[in-house]
Amino acid sequence: MWGAKGPNSFDCSGFVYWCLNQVGVNQSYLTSSGWRNAGRYTKITNFNSIQAGDIVVVNGHVGIAAGGGTVIDASSSNGRVVHRSLSQWWANNFICAWRIF
């Protein structure tokens, strides 16, 4: 469900877009690759510096750090939002994160 911006179905970047707009951040829609150069927020380049609320950008995917070593993201393959470990896969594919708050 590529490009799904919710609220009943999401892809990864649509989920981030929807969440940010729900909390009053006026952010236009960006693809996961677009998040590599979002620019207007504080860029985090060290995976170990990720904090809750940061937008986490990995190769071909994006999610929101939820704290406690977890991430919330949506899968374009099933349109569902999942809460999971910010695992080694995320670390291995990490590009950057963006601190918005």
Q: Which residues are catalytic?
A: 12, 61, 73
Task: Report whether 83 contacts 91 (CB < 8 A).
Answer: no
Q: How far is CA 15 from CA 22, 45, 61, 101, in A?
A: 11, 22, 11, 17
* Beta bridge partner(s), residue 94: 58
